[in-house]
Structure 1
């Protein structure tokens, strides 16, 4: 047993290793999925690998139960150990230690809630520290949180709840405190040094882990004093930086921890008019106010904008706000509250309509503009203001330029044109001078890592563009390259987007850009010819290659290191990882590849040791470990072992011809032990295109809006998911022309029961379902979630989640009409299901919630009333205070039950539940759910 150098709250445990046992079940014992199975279904929520590659940490979450963490030694075979309720795992820099938090048991918390116990009495987390060499574990209870440096993790600090330490504190005294206090423990991972500090309200490490700041609270004569202190973790020297201010915010170290800055105020947090100054300290030698708020003529120093040093420490960035305008009516004390007028005025001249303004009100109140303190010169430069637009620059680099994007001249059109232009300016980081480079760019310019170029994908040109910020030269980066750099599957009435890019190499020497399949390396100066990094292998074999970023600390592509790629065969959907030749002379080297989805690749910092996830529809996305060149790969986790006892199924990629003669893909999910000589009920679900998700694992889970495919397949359904191609102005007919021929192709296979086919979709899928059932009676039952039934009324509506007008959706994006209501009135009418409601004979279940922020819920009401008026069996589910897709798990479970009961009744002949037969009258609301089935 080993002692740790700390005084409060410690105990030691030995970790017992064990092997995860896999219990096999015979075929006869398998059963279909049930709704009660959702809660214990597992997923990997987090994975990490130690710097030396010897340990892997995996956090396994359950949907509605306590999860667990696993620490897995990479050198062992199948042995591992796990720790219940472990979360937020990290490894120390030297890979010897693991740290994390243990959550309280969910069952215990639930019982306390049932007993109406106050939340501040709930148990806190427990800090866990594991010595991976000695296999010893230490637990520290009552911890609020913990932190480590973002780099050089040799220290950790944790907060112990002040209430737990001083439970007898006077409540009145607590209420006087402006800041929540806790006791701070700071320790080195090796236990050689520790520090205990009482009454702390804020703290943070320097990036390199050599220093720490903290704010300590002192009460004296009924007054609260705050001391801001710096602690040198190497020398253990402590320095009080300030003891005269009442607020400290946005504290930050420079990259090398030699400089420190913060915002300070002499007013208390309760003062709504508190002002802040920018303070700066160098090498712990003292403090100076570099930007006094009273001297900043442009406005007020902003507490909402982060302070940050450039990587070399020569620049300190901060933000400022316009001075608050005073209004006499607002402050008029002669008016009673009930006499004050409250109204919204929508003005035709406004850049944004009133709902968007209200939605952004808090953001607008916090709107800040960038400025910089030039450390060597000792003066301040304003870089941004409302007139030049949004500023973009590289925090960490020291380039000479920033760029500003201003869409204000075109913003008024945004309600119907989401591809409005932007004026591009360059801004000097030394003087703040802004110069116009180009007007009305249709694209999204950003600045390259070293600050030499503004670059963007020009939608009108279908090309990537770079603009030299120093020489003001514009270069078409992809000009002359024989490849497709736009999304060639784009089928809406707007300019197509790009296939993306892989970033820039060091010093902005090369730009890496994605063609349809291959990756190109382009010299922006045009001196060197472009290089196809994948050597044309992508286009030749229909494999889409993309770069993987395995070093989050680098803001550029390091061509001196191995270039790892993901690759997916766009015909079979097989995928894997590859190694690229940085000269493009050889095809990518295959590392691992197969009939599965491979993703989440991570690399150990100090050697070529990797972890990744792999899944199929049948296999959960487990964690795998691989070494150099992936010569050996082994499975580290086996989640969802309970699936062995569940009837599952399989999926295949199918092809079918649509009405215009083109071939399309779809996914056909089949029950386990599928018999082609039997007739199966079939559910048809779709949105737009889904075939690329062939190998994606779909967890059984309560539904937020759509059918859960594993649940229906497990319960004896076929599920068909067709891809859809759209024609401008014909969204409804396009869906019909793809879905119905796809269903007919499945019928021709002979195993689909033509009398028992259902259809279901949500949102855009819900609209398409509503349209299709006006044209055919081939579906015995339909489910339409949040459907747009009437495009003429929806066109003028609001997406309340964003405050945007819905015009853009019909003119440019998903609804694909391609014009205004007055330009193309017949297209709006002909594509609207409500005008053909008298043709619908299909029993329909609608869900449309009264807090839907995407599709106004009156659309669901219009559709339901049309069906009701025409005596079509129909039900409208309205979950109160719920959004477009359900958020509350209780409501998701409820919807899942009602979806399965509805379709089971119509497609499998099961008895109807009481809610379908009797409804739930308002007088019974909240008293019964009526899931009970009516006996035959």
Structure 2
């Protein structure tokens, strides 16, 4: 008997080993059909009883999973949704219905490719929860339940291709009555918050019946609020849903833009309509302007004023009138000319006659016939341009559509312009009593040259429109220095010279709220060359009596009045290396931080990379109790905390490097969480990383840093593995991040490399000014040596890879060390001198500001700092390169100019160093087209497989591919 049991156990053991060995590395060819949970698709019904999420694939059909949380997983339902990576799913507010889109199948999309392809239409599925009854609607563009009432579903249908109308059919489906009604030619529709009313715009052929309409959903009655030969747009309900504003645009052939009018509607039972026609306001409105069709109008919170945009009118240029010709004088002159030519006996040929006629015409001043001459297509770059011409080209549309805020007081029928050309920006505060205006025109040229930002700030009274100067040439080292309003809109916080200040608008007083605190709120870890950038504010309390500040570790509660003193709420952050990073807002409608309720915070361990959720509890009085309570603290990435709208049911996400994101359900205590999703259904077929390790090291400049070491699949302790080192400034915090197998825009995917037997090491880099390249040397080399000491890495088979700034680090590192057997650099900066003067084409701005106040980290221009620029430029050290290099650089790269790649490639080629440059025509800084992302992902792994694993080099890497053979080469490799 014992022998039989032993035999069975051995057989079971071998079977288990065989099963484990059956798990294969994931190949790039597996990715197109790889299914995963699209993270943004996770939905919770308002009552917390149902969840829905989508499982999708890049080149296969997806499905929607619908699950009642009180039932076993086996009863979850699946519905096909076709081919999409951006599913659309919505629960009704009463938790009785779910609606979701069904997209064309992948096979349909493939068959429909080509010049004669027809638009494929989406479907909409509507399901009553708890039943099997599903209703389908064809040709759907968008849909929406009527919010809180949840009695109707509005469905915007696809426009008929032959229709000249701008609008299309809007289907109103009555959920309880199972009846539909159709409204034609609708271009825009919006329900108010309660769902009691629907506002919509009609735009028909020939503008017949154009107008703005209001439907009462309970009585199913419709009112015409305004109708005209005009275009209506931008319905904007107030937050409470008791009123809305819209625009009415009337064409005028004299101007390039239509004349705008503002429509304000309130008192929905008996609609009270305000129509402000700026054209008729000849005394209050500058008639060289009009109301802009580029800014959405809105009511003030107290419904006394309408806010809208204005911009200058531009006349249509009329062609110059042709001059009347004196025909009698022309005939006389022509007769005399002919008479003179006929008397000329020297003319011997037709050619002589033609010359004589031309000579006479010239003397008489008759113009020669001009061919149609095209105007030059050119740009004038002037040294005094505050913005580069390239930047102006990028922002041309934005500049054309620019509008300035204005308001209309309904009671006084008065228009007030809130901005003019001397104040280009305006930020309206909550409650609509005040606004902050800003303008940087006086400093714009210098900002674009050296990157140091300044602005003038103004306080604007939104009752009167009066403006008061606050700050002149105010320094903005980071976003958090900008004025930010309190919840009640009567105060604002800003930062100056390393401190936070609060200005009380009504009192006119300003208080330094951090000067007496024992910690600094300057971001001391920011190594860019700006002065005293700040750590971000956590937020204002809902009663505007407190500000919650972060010092990088802990959270401080700072009172703005009374005898209360600032309090360190979290207390243990700095002591224990825990960063209290941000707050989870569980109520999407809250205003400020409600200190009478428990506050949920995201926590992160700086040195152990753990994460979790902690809470702060309210006191009996206003304010929070000191001392945070940790509810979750794990070796995982915890986040995405959310609550069901109408129930105390809470969900959060959890992932690690080798386990994909899943959602968990719990209560407000976050105790006993239960997994409710099933991500990556095919994951068990493949081999994944065995886990991660943290590697501590000290840079050559004495900084203590960490790197994340990701173990390969089927890792065996004591065995050394080929390794790819990847970096981009600080990334060790990604230790617990799942990287979904996919074709990235840079070819890199750490999950794919660990699945295929590589270790991956991601070290942190900190920077010293004037040495961005050397900083990588000082950080990465000690990091890799420390990682080698773990016994995981094969020191003889290490590759490095980075893209963009990481590509620069790669290009530079191989000029300083032979530690690496192979290197792959994507879109690298290679010549800091020439790069300084080039254009960042994606934004149109110059690189010099990036070099002097951002990632470049240089003090001054090259001509002021030659040694630093040359010392840190890979191309000037190219003779020392011995590492085979694969480069990706595209000809339309709008971030790092293609010439940077060409410079480095050409220099290496001149020295006969092993380098291959891969260029994808028309692509930008990263790869966008799927076929290109596939191709480069495979090539980069082939490159590392050859150099680090000893695989045979493919032809493209070994010998290159001639242009005439390229088409056949690509056809063989495509999948």
Q: TM-score, normalised by structure 2?
A: 0.87
Out of 774, 778, 781, the residue aligned to residue 819 of structure 2 is 778
Out of 592, 600, 603, the residue aligned to residue 640 of structure 2 is 600
1:34 maps to 2:34? no
Provide the rounded CA distance (Å) in 1 between the counterparts of 2:934 and 2:180: 48
1:629 is displaced (CA, Å) by: 0.9
1:405 maps to 2:449? no
**Equivalent pair of 2:300/2:432 in contact (CA under 8 Å):** no
CA shift in 2, pair 1:539/1:707, >3 Å? same
1:253 maps to 2:253? no
**Equivalent pair of 1:610/1:627 in contact (CA under 8 Å):** yes
1:725 maps to 2:766? yes
Provide the rounded CA distance (Å) in 1 between the counterparts of 2:175 and 2:568: 47
Q: Show CA shifts across 1:61-82 (max 9, x none).
A: 3233222222221222323222
**Equivalent pair of 1:152/1:208 in contact (CA under 8 Å):** yes
Structure 1, unmatched stretches of 5+, are 1-22
Q: 1:634 maps to which residue? A: 674
Q: 2:187 maps to which residue? A: 201
1:750-899 aligned at under 5 Å gives the runs 750-899=791-940
Q: 1:14 maps to which residue? A: none
The structure whose residues are more often helix, as a share, is 2
Q: 2:493 maps to which residue? A: 455
1:232 is displaced (CA, Å) by: 1.1
CA shift in 2, pair 1:291/1:418, >3 Å? farther
Out of 533, 540, 546, the residue aligned to residue 575 of structure 2 is 540
Name the SS for the 2:215 alignment partner: strand
Q: Show CA shifts across 1:885-922 (max 9, x none).
A: 11112111111111011111111111111112332323
Larger gyration radius, structure 1 or structure 2: 2
1:107-122 aligned at under 5 Å gives the runs 107-113=107-113, 117-120=116-119, 122=120
1:137 maps to 2:134? yes
Q: 1:45 maps to which residue? A: 40
Q: 1:82 maps to which residue? A: 78
1:311 maps to 2:305? no
CA shift in 2, pair 1:316/1:185, >3 Å? same
The worse-fitting range, judged by mean Cα deviation, of 329-338 and 814-823 is 329-338
1:273 is displaced (CA, Å) by: 3.6
**Equivalent pair of 1:216/1:228 in contact (CA under 8 Å):** yes
Out of 265, 284, 292, the residue aligned to residue 278 of structure 2 is 292
Name the SS for the 1:85 alignment partner: strand
Name the SS for the 1:861 alignment partner: helix
**Equivalent pair of 1:795/1:806 in contact (CA under 8 Å):** yes
**Equivalent pair of 1:92/1:189 in contact (CA under 8 Å):** no
Provide the rounded CA distance (Å) in 2 between the counterparts of 1:88 and 1:909: 47
1:567 maps to 2:603? yes
1:586 is displaced (CA, Å) by: 4.6
**Equivalent pair of 1:399/1:450 in contact (CA under 8 Å):** no
1:418 maps to 2:408? no
1:154-173 aligned at under 5 Å gives the runs 154-163=151-160, 171=162
1:673 is displaced (CA, Å) by: 2.8
Provide the rounded CA distance (Å) in 2 between the counterparts of 1:146 and 1:698: 32
Provide the rounded CA distance (Å) in 2 between the counterparts of 1:253 and 1:510: 30
1:618 maps to 2:658? yes
CA shift in 2, pair 1:30/1:580, >3 Å? same
1:500 maps to 2:496? no
CA shift in 2, pair 1:750/1:618, >3 Å? closer
Q: 1:5 maps to which residue? A: none
CA shift in 2, pair 1:37/1:330, >3 Å? farther
CA shift in 2, pair 1:293/1:523, >3 Å? farther
Q: Show CA shifts across 1:18-53 (max 9, x none).
A: xxxxx9992120111100122214132322222211
The worse-fitting range, judged by mean Cα deviation, of 763-772 and 42-51 is 42-51
Provide the rounded CA distance (Å) in 2 between the counterparts of 1:45 and 1:847: 31
**Equivalent pair of 1:246/1:268 in contact (CA under 8 Å):** no
Out of 415, 419, 425, the residue aligned to residue 390 of structure 1 is 425
Q: 2:357 maps to which residue? A: none
1:239 is displaced (CA, Å) by: 1.0
The worse-fitting range, judged by mean Cα deviation, of 507-516 and 766-775 is 507-516
CA shift in 2, pair 1:375/1:743, >3 Å? same
**Equivalent pair of 1:399/1:452 in contact (CA under 8 Å):** no
1:47-66 aligned at under 5 Å gives the runs 47-66=42-61
Q: Show CA shifts across 1:707-736 (max 9, x none).
A: 321111121112111111211111111101
1:922 maps to 2:960? no
1:303 is displaced (CA, Å) by: 0.1
CA shift in 2, pair 1:921/1:294, >3 Å? farther
Q: 1:15 maps to which residue? A: none
CA shift in 2, pair 1:646/1:257, >3 Å? closer
1:686-725 aligned at under 5 Å gives the runs 686-725=727-766
**Equivalent pair of 1:98/1:132 in contact (CA under 8 Å):** yes
Name the SS for the 2:405 alignment partner: strand
1:196 is displaced (CA, Å) by: 2.6
1:265-664 aligned at under 5 Å gives the runs 265-267=249-251, 272-283=256-267, 284-285=270-271, 287-295=273-281, 296-297=285-286, 299-324=289-314, 338-394=373-429, 397-442=430-475, 443-458=481-496, 461-525=497-561, 527-534=563-570, 536-545=571-580, 546-583=582-619, 584-649=624-689, 650-664=691-705
Name the SS for the 1:659 alignment partner: coil
Provide the rounded CA distance (Å) in 2 between the counterparts of 1:553 and 1:540: 35
1:528 is displaced (CA, Å) by: 2.4
Name the SS for the 1:676 alignment partner: coil
Provide the rounded CA distance (Å) in 1 between the counterparts of 2:466 and 2:892: 46
1:657 is displaced (CA, Å) by: 2.5
Provide the rounded CA distance (Å) in 1 between the counterparts of 2:378 and 2:140: 48
Q: Show CA shifts across 1:255-293 (max 9, x none).
A: 455444322233399994422222334435464532323
Q: 1:18 maps to which residue? A: none
**Equivalent pair of 1:596/1:695 in contact (CA under 8 Å):** yes
Provide the rounded CA distance (Å) in 1 between the counterparts of 2:637 and 2:21: 30
1:93-242 aligned at under 5 Å gives the runs 93-113=93-113, 117-120=116-119, 122=120, 124-149=121-146, 152-163=149-160, 171=162, 174=163, 177-182=164-169, 184-191=170-177, 195-216=181-202, 224-242=208-226
Q: Show CA shifts across 1:435-486 (max 9, x none).
A: 101212223223223211232233xx22222222223322222222223322
**Equivalent pair of 1:25/1:645 in contact (CA under 8 Å):** no
Provide the rounded CA distance (Å) in 2 between the counterparts of 1:445 and 1:338: 53
Provide the rounded CA distance (Å) in 1 between the counterparts of 2:808 and 2:203: 58
1:362 is displaced (CA, Å) by: 0.2
What RMSD in Å do the two structures reach over aligned CA positions? 2.7
Provide the rounded CA distance (Å) in 1 between the counterparts of 2:767 and 2:634: 31
Provide the rounded CA distance (Å) in 2 between the counterparts of 1:542 and 1:347: 52
Q: Show CA shifts across 1:478-510 (max 9, x none).
A: 222223322222112222533212211124221
1:332 is displaced (CA, Å) by: 11
**Equivalent pair of 2:540/2:593 in contact (CA under 8 Å):** yes
Provide the rounded CA distance (Å) in 2 between the counterparts of 1:217 and 1:831: 60
